[in-house]
């Protein structure tokens, strides 16, 4: 298994916007980080709040990934994590002013543009990818996730839609290499059914959601123009890549997902992490 170079950014860059769940204004500043630091989120209003993007620090998976607890927590980190993973960035400090990262246009493309503007810098250290031993299988009800060893990260994802106009399901099979993430995955926006919006808002979720930052689905189909015909399933791949980034190491595997979500994604991360830890034991 070949190690890969660690990477960070050359200069600090900032962006602000609305949180999709809180509806509140938020700003983040991404800064360079040293070798082996990983991706670390900091709430400047909570000096003791540095939280590495790791499974250990995940405290919520409902409609997004939350790191940390209480007033020092940071919500909806998966799009930035996906952008960093897609660009091969392994070390990053992220100052968050607010309790949620800005949703921007609902995809990872603006975060990719932000990090690219900061210029990606290769570092002296290396990092060893994770490869599953045998088949790593997790399930929850009718949802399943399977990971088997492969030379690259390949994701086959099935999203059941059960929609009269859009079909029973969407399927995508994408190998994440050679700029594929930037072109075919990063632009895919978060999405949801219009019929669910009011229920979510009564739960304190999606208060900042709009057709400017999400792809809406109504009884007749899409409520705003999709960026690709199967944008929902491509966004699920985006979310999975962000969740897999919680491993802290690149994953070389073919991952097959059917009807999964953040909670099941993290169940697979936990399984892969446990296997990797066992493999390192003497």
Which sequence positions are flagged as catalytic? 262
**Cα separation of 195 and 132, whole Å?**
39
How many Å apart are CA 227 and CA 224, to the nearest integer? 9
- Mode of pairing for the β-strands spanning 13-18 and 25-31: antiparallel
104's torsion region: left (phi>0), alpha (psi -120 to 50) or beta? left
CA atoms of 107 and 112, how far apart (whole Å): 10
The CA–CA distances, whole Å, from 273 to 1, 74, 128, 194 equal 16, 22, 13, 37
Q: Are the C-beta atoms of residues 131 and 232 closer than 8 Å to each other?
A: no
């Amino acid at each position: 298994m070949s190690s890969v170079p660690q990477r960070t950014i050359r200069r600090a860059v900032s962006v602000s916007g609305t949180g999709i769940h809180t509806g509140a204004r938020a700003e983040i500043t991404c800064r360079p980080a040293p070798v082996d630091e990983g991706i670390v989120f900091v709430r400047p209003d909570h000096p003791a709040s540095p939280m590495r993007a790791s499974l250990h620090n995940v405290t919520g998976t409902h409609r997004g990934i939350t790191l940390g607890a209480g007033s020092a927590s940071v919500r909806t980190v998966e799009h930035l994590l996906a952008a960093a993973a897609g660009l091969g960035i392994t070390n990053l400090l992220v100052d968050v002013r607010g309790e949620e990262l800005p949703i921007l246009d609902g995809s990872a493309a603006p975060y990719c543009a932000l990090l690219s503007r900061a210029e990606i810098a290769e570092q002296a250290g290396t990092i060893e990818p994770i490869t599953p031993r045998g088949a790593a299988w997790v399930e929850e009800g009718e949802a399943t996730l399977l990971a088997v060893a492969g030379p690259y990260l390949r994701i086959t994802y099935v999203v059941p839609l059960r929609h009269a106009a859009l079909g029973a399901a969407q399927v995508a099979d994408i190998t994440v290499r050679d700029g594929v993430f930037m072109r075919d995955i990063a632009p895919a926006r978060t999405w949801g059914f219009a019929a669910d919006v009011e229920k979510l808002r009564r739960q304190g979720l999606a208060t900042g959601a709009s057709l400017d930052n999400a792809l809406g689905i109504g009884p007749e189909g899409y409520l705003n123009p999709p960026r690709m015909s199967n944008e929902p399933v491509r966004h699920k791949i985006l979310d999975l890549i962000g969740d897999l980034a919680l491993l802290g190491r690149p994953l070389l595997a073919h991952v097959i997902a059917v009807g999964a979500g953040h909670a099941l994604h993290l169940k697979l991360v936990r399984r892969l992490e446990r296997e990797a830890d066992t493999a390192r034991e003497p």
